[in-house]
Amino acid sequence: MQLLMFYILGFGAVLSALLLVTSKKPVNAAMSLIATMFCLAGLYVLLDAHLVAVLQILVYAGAVMVLFLFVIMLLNIQEKEGRLAGSTIALQFVSILGVGMVFVIAASLVKVRGALPTGGELFPFGTTKAVGSMLFTEYLLPFEIASMLLLAAIVGAVILAKRRISDAKP
């Protein structure tokens, strides 16, 4: 059952990722990426990472992708904008490079024989309580730094996206 789910979700993730890199319109690309993220959330559930799976859907598929779609619709990009890299030779070269990359990583993994532990853990794995207590004790400083990073991102995004006062005047 777990194997079947892994294959369904993994196949779905790879398929929608391929749709993402070959899409010509930003909206189609965004929809493919959302599909990939849902498949990955399912894989996280298979790995007992329940909190991360919910965060994946809330933060990525929810917040980040809505931001993407919002910008796509705000910019109203014309059809001619969406195209792949110019020459077909460059496309083929990059594709071969990508396949080679997969093979190099897969070859380095041949000796990995990791059977994942299933069920019967000593403590509840990957629940909000377990991850939360870890975040607020052992990793408290990185957690606070992350909040500072988000604050800096908010300020930066507002400053970058706002119009200059001189531009606003007619």
Partner 1 sequence: MVTLNSYLTLSAVLFSIGAVGVFTQRNALIMYMCIELMLNAVNLTFIAFSRYLNDLGGHVFVFMIMTVAAAEAAVGLAIIMALFRNKETVNVDEINLSKG
**Long-range contacts: 111-114, Cβ < 8 Å, 24+?**
none
Residues of span 121-140 touching partner 1 by CB under 8 A: 121, 125-126, 130-131, 134-135, 138-139
**Minimum separation from the CB atom of position 170 to partner 1 (A):** 16
**Minimum separation from the CB atom of position 166 to partner 1 (A):** 13
CA distance 101 to 39: 23
Specify whether the CB–CB gap between 12 and 35 falls below 8 A. yes
Closer CB to partner 1, 46 or 166, in the complex? 46
Site string for partner 1, 25-44 (x = CB under 8 A): -x--xx--x--xx--x--xx
Which of 8, 73, 144, 146: binder of partner 1 (CB under 8 A)? 146
* Residue among 35, 36, 38 nearest 57 (CA): 38
**Minimum separation from the CB atom of position 22 to partner 1 (A):** 8
CA distances (Å), 46 to each of 10, 38, 74, 133, in order?
Answer: 11, 13, 37, 22
Which of 8, 14, 73, 144: binder of partner 1 (CB under 8 A)? 14
What single DSSP character describes residue 16? Answer: H
Closer CB to partner 1, 106 or 165, in the complex? 106
CA end-to-end span of the chain: 64
**Minimum separation from the CB atom of position 138 to partner 1 (A):** 8
Site string for partner 1, 83-122 (x = CB under 8 A): xxxx---xx--xx-xxx-xx--xx--x--xxxxxx---x-
CA distance 31 to 4: 25
User: Cβ-count burial of 43 within 10 angstroms (0-12 exposed, 13-18 middle, 19+ buried)?
Assistant: middle
Closer CB to partner 1, 112 or 165, in the complex? 112
21 contributes a contact to partner 1 by CB under 8 A: yes
